[in-house]
Structure 1
Amino acid sequence: MPALNSIQVDKLFRLIGTPKAPVIIDVRTDEDFAADPRLIPGAMRRPWAEVANWAGGFRGRPVVVACWQGHKLSQGAAAWLRQDGAEAEALDGGVKAWVDAGYPLVPEAILPTRDPQGRTVWVTRARPKVDRIACPWLIRRFVDPNAVFLFVAPGEVVGVADRFGAAPFDIEGDGIRWSHDGDRCTFDVMLDGLGLAGVKPLAHLAMIVRGADTGRPDIIPEAAGLVALSLGLSRMYADDLEQLDAGMLVYDALYRWCRDATGETHDWVSHQPKGARAKPVTA
Structure 2
Amino acid sequence: MPAPNQITVSQLNRLIGTPDCPILVDVCIDEDFEGDAFLIPGSFRHPFNDIEGLADRLRDKRAVIICQKGKKLSQGVVAYLQHEGISAEALEGGMFAWRDAGLPRIPHGALPPRDAKGRTIWVTRLRPKIDRIACPWLIRRFVDPSAVFLYVTAQEVDGVAERFNATPFDIDGVFWSHRGDRCTFDTMIEEFKLETEALNRFAAIVRGADTDRHDISPQCAGLMAASLGLSRMYRDDLAQLEAGLLLYDAFYRWCRDASDETHDWPGSRSAK
Q: Which residue of 1 aligns with 2:54?
A: 54
Q: Which residue of 1 aligns with 2:78?
A: 78
Q: Which residue of 1 aligns with 2:39?
A: 39
Q: Which residue of 2 aligns with 1:104?
A: 104
Moved more, 53-62 or 133-142: 53-62
Residue by residue over 1:21-51, the C-alpha shift from the partner in whole angstroms, topping out at 9 and shown as x without a partner, is 0100000001111111111000011100111
Aligned pairs for 1:65-144 (under 5 A) are: 65-144=65-144
Q: Which residue of 1 aligns with 2:259?
A: 262
The 8 Å contact of residues 52 and 80 in structure 1, kept in 2 or not, is answered as no
Residue by residue over 1:28-87, the C-alpha shift from the partner in whole angstroms, topping out at 9 and shown as x without a partner, is 001111111111000011100111232133122111000000111100111111121221
Moved more, 78-87 or 232-241: 78-87
Q: 2:254, 2:247 → 1: CA distance?
A: 11
From 238, 243, 247, the counterpart of 2:240: 243
Q: Which amino acid aligns with 2:243?
A: A
Q: 1:2, 1:269 → 2: CA distance?
A: 44
Gaps (5+ residues) in structure 2?
A: none
The 8 Å contact of residues 27 and 45 in structure 1, kept in 2 or not, is answered as yes
Q: Which residue of 2 aligns with 1:274?
A: none
Q: CA RMSD in A?
A: 1.0
Residue by residue over 1:198-248, the C-alpha shift from the partner in whole angstroms, topping out at 9 and shown as x without a partner, is x11000000000000001001101000011011000000000000000000
Q: Which residue of 2 aligns with 1:177?
A: 175
Q: Which amino acid aligns with 2:108?
A: E
The 8 Å contact of residues 56 and 81 in structure 1, kept in 2 or not, is answered as no
TM-superposed CA distance for 1:261, in Å, is: 0.4
Gaps (5+ residues) in structure 1?
A: 271-276
Q: Which residue of 2 aligns with 1:278?
A: 269
Q: 2:53, 2:162 → 1: CA distance?
A: 31
Q: Give TM-score scaled by structure 2 length.
A: 0.98
The 8 Å contact of residues 24 and 63 in structure 1, kept in 2 or not, is answered as yes
Q: 1:279, 1:51 → 2: CA distance?
A: 63
Moved more, 208-217 or 82-91: 82-91
| Percentage identity across paired residues of the two chains | 59
Query: Could you say if the C-alpha distance between residues 269 and 64 of structure 1 is closer, same or farther in structure 2, counting changes exceeding 3 Å?
Result: farther
Q: 1:185, 1:101 → 2: CA distance?
A: 29
TM-superposed CA distance for 1:269, in Å, is: 5.3
Moved more, 76-85 or 231-240: 76-85
Moved more, 53-62 or 254-263: 53-62
Q: Which amino acid aligns with 2:264?
A: D
How many positions carry a matched residue from both structures?
272
Q: Which amino acid aligns with 1:188?
A: D
Q: 2:231, 2:47 → 1: CA distance?
A: 41
Q: 1:212, 1:20 → 2: CA distance?
A: 27
Q: 1:31, 1:78 → 2: CA distance?
A: 21
Q: Which residue of 1 aligns with 2:24?
A: 24
Q: Which amino acid aligns with 1:220?
A: S
Aligned pairs for 1:207-246 (under 5 A) are: 207-246=204-243
Q: 1:238, 1:22 → 2: CA distance?
A: 31
Q: 2:82, 2:44 → 1: CA distance?
A: 18
